[in-house]
A and B are shown apart, each in its own frame.
Chain A
Amino acid sequence: MNTRKDTMGTALVALTLVAMMVSLYMVFLYAPREATMGDVQRIFYFHVPSAWVAFFAFFLVFVFSLVYLARSNKRWDTLAAACAEIGVLFCTLVLITGPIWAKPVWGVWWTWDARLTLTLVLWLIYVAYLMLRHYMTDPERRATFAAVLGVIGFIDVPLVYFSIRWWRTQHPQPVMAGGEDSGLEAPMLATLLVCIATFTLLFFTLLRHRLKLQSLRDEVDALQDRVEQAG
């Protein structure tokens, strides 16, 4: 068993914990109460960074997929898969925090606005990616097919965004007051930025953990092979 002391990993976890505590402080105590929406608005500090991380994760899936297609090294496939899983996780968070924020503020659970809808479509695309991986058994083929899907899925993103946005102007939904773009005062902006940084750290912590898990799995599989061959 590999019990090498993982200093980088521990440091990362520690840093993330510290950042989370700072963020929580800022979100609940430092940031001012929003004028029109009240305390519910604080979900914004979880909603937006989650969206950022999800998007970043899917961008990484795109990059790692391209590299895998070029280099055929299993490592890139593992990275792509891990990023996709974490991306879907944060995407789900966005889709949960969105309605929680929307209901008290705007009276409806869901608005088909461009960003939220884009997130939903993204969620569908990358869940399909994970399903494809799940339903393939040959590891090399799975990696290649998933990589192709990872590339296509991400290329689709801007097209989805623009099509939804333009569709939205053609089919306007009831106007919502206090939209997400309403101006941010300095302390709110600061809080938001800190939260984004925290979530990014959280992403890397989870990624590292997921990769370690995968390498443990690979070790178990290799040991299993050795046992089978010896016996």
Chain B
Amino acid sequence: MSGESSLLLTRNLTKTFGRFTALRSLSLEVPRGESLTIVGRNGAGKTTFLKIVSSIIRSYTGEVLISGKNLKTADEDTRRTIGFVSHESLLYKDLTVRDNLGFYARMYGVADRDRRIGEIIRRVDLEAKTDVLVRALSRGTKQRLSLARAFIHSPSILLLDEPFTGLDERASEILDSLLGEFKASGGTLVMVTHDIERGWRLADRVVVFEKGKIVHQTSPRGSSFDAFRNEYRRILYD
């Protein structure tokens, strides 16, 4: 476990919420450029894992290393490389599309801001709504804006929490294409999903979380989806 070639490394990661232990001494290594899918039932610790890696949760025991640097002491440059796609939109209703993106772009220190904003708005097909308040957007358009928000600072490691849940067809398409681009450019992906079929399709590796630990690990290159699905069902309903 070298730590240098891996973009994300967790060692003995443990997180408790009062009496409930969400993660038990979880160690996981994600090499640079890998697409990892995490599946498991509710309460298995998947979302907690993502929240810790993305700095939403800051108190835990164990180590999290991003590109070899400890997340707790990492500087802004390192933390800036992390992107997060949530099923919540994280958008301000009373700001325009452009201003929402402008806010996130500024906070993430995006270079050549205006050009980048224009670029990402075109990419998610929102050019017509650039100066519309988010309050006035339809659900589908909001979803596309939310995706733009997640990608605006060109992260190199992308964390996704049930990203396809509730997306309409157009937004789904755009996310698929954005992820394709992201992977092609060498980005590292960690996705939590209940949609195991899609998760399987997009992944280089799939791990199963259960009660805060990794209980199964497999690669779509080495085995069939059916075999995995049977194993997964066995784990869940055992």
Per the bound structure, the CA–CA distance linking A225 and B20 in Å amounts to 9
B19 touches A225 (CB 8 A): yes
Per the bound structure, the CA–CA distance linking A74 and B227 in Å amounts to 44
Question: Which residue in chain B gives the minimum CB-CB distance to A225?
Answer: B19
Chain A, residues 60-74, CB within 8 Å of chain B (1/0): the string is 000000000000100
Contact of A138 among B17, B19, B59 (CB under 8 A): B17
Per the bound structure, the CA–CA distance linking A140 and B17 in Å amounts to 7
B59 touches A72 (CB 8 A): yes
Interface flag for B18 (CB, 8 Å)? yes
Measured between beta carbons, the chain B residues less than 8 angstroms from A140 are 17-18, 59
Question: Which residue in chain B gives the minimum CB-CB distance to A144?
Answer: B59
Please provide the chain B residues from 1 to 19 with a CB less than 8 Å away from any CB of chain A in the complex. 17-19
A222 touches B59 (CB 8 A): no
Please provide the chain A residues from 194 to 229 with a CB less than 8 Å away from any CB of chain B in the complex. 221-222, 225
Chain A residues within 8 Å of chain B by Cβ, number: 7
Measured between beta carbons, the chain B residues less than 8 angstroms from A221 are 19
Interchain nearest-CB distance for B184 vs A (Å): 40
Per the bound structure, the CA–CA distance linking A139 and B59 in Å amounts to 14
**Chain B contact residues, majority secondary structure:** loop
Measured between beta carbons, the chain A residues less than 8 angstroms from B59 are 72, 140
Per the bound structure, the CA–CA distance linking A179 and B17 in Å amounts to 52
Per the bound structure, the CA–CA distance linking A140 and B19 in Å amounts to 10
Interchain nearest-CB distance for A132 vs B (Å): 17
Question: Which residue in chain B gives the minimum CB-CB distance to A222?
Answer: B19
Interchain nearest-CB distance for A5 vs B (Å): 28
Question: Which residue in chain B gives the minimum CB-CB distance to A143?
Answer: B18
Chain B, residues 113-156, CB within 8 Å of chain A (1/0): the string is 00000000000000000000000000000000000000000000
Question: Which residue in chain A gives the minimum CB-CB distance to B15?
Answer: A140
Interchain Cβ contacts within 8 Å, total number? 11
Measured between beta carbons, the chain B residues less than 8 angstroms from A138 are 17-18
Question: Which residue in chain A gives the minimum CB-CB distance to B59?
Answer: A72
Per the bound structure, the CA–CA distance linking A221 and B19 in Å amounts to 9
Per the bound structure, the CA–CA distance linking A225 and B16 in Å amounts to 14
Per the bound structure, the CA–CA distance linking A138 and B17 in Å amounts to 8
Question: Which residue in chain A gives the minimum CB-CB distance to B16?
Answer: A140
Question: Which residue in chain B gives the minimum CB-CB distance to A224?
Answer: B19
Per the bound structure, the CA–CA distance linking A77 and B59 in Å amounts to 15
Interchain nearest-CB distance for B76 vs A (Å): 23
Per the bound structure, the CA–CA distance linking A138 and B59 in Å amounts to 15
Interchain nearest-CB distance for B16 vs A (Å): 8
Chain B, residues 14-57, CB within 8 Å of chain A (1/0): the string is 00011100000000000000000000000000000000000000
| Most chain A Cβ neighbours within 10 Å, of B17, B18, B19 | B18
Measured between beta carbons, the chain B residues less than 8 angstroms from A222 are 19
Measured between beta carbons, the chain B residues less than 8 angstroms from A72 are 59
Chain A, residues 133-169, CB within 8 Å of chain B (1/0): the string is 0000011100000000000000000000000000000
Question: Which residue in chain B gives the minimum CB-CB distance to A139?
Answer: B18
Chain A, residues 102-139, CB within 8 Å of chain B (1/0): the string is 00000000000000000000000000000000000011
Measured between beta carbons, the chain B residues less than 8 angstroms from A139 are 17-18
Interchain nearest-CB distance for B18 vs A (Å): 4
Per the bound structure, the CA–CA distance linking A139 and B17 in Å amounts to 8
Please provide the chain B residues from 48 to 90 with a CB less than 8 Å away from any CB of chain A in the complex. 59
Question: Which residue in chain A gives the minimum CB-CB distance to B19?
Answer: A225
Question: Which residue in chain A gives the minimum CB-CB distance to B20?
Answer: A225
Interchain nearest-CB distance for A145 vs B (Å): 13
Question: Which residue in chain A gives the minimum CB-CB distance to B18?
Answer: A139
| Most chain B Cβ neighbours within 10 Å, of A72, A138, A140 | A140
Per the bound structure, the CA–CA distance linking A26 and B67 in Å amounts to 71
Per the bound structure, the CA–CA distance linking A139 and B16 in Å amounts to 11
Per the bound structure, the CA–CA distance linking A72 and B17 in Å amounts to 12
Measured between beta carbons, the chain A residues less than 8 angstroms from B17 are 138-140
Residues of B within 8 A of A (CB): 17-19, 59
Could you give 11 example pairs across A and B, Cβ below 8 Å? Answer: A72-B59, A138-B17, A138-B18, A139-B17, A139-B18, A140-B17, A140-B18, A140-B59, A221-B19, A222-B19, A225-B19
Closest 5 CB pairs of A and B: A139-B18, A72-B59, A225-B19, A140-B17, A222-B19
Name 7 extra pairs, CB < 8 A, besides A138-B17, A140-B17, A140-B18.
A138-B18, A139-B17, A139-B18, A140-B59, A221-B19, A222-B19, A225-B19
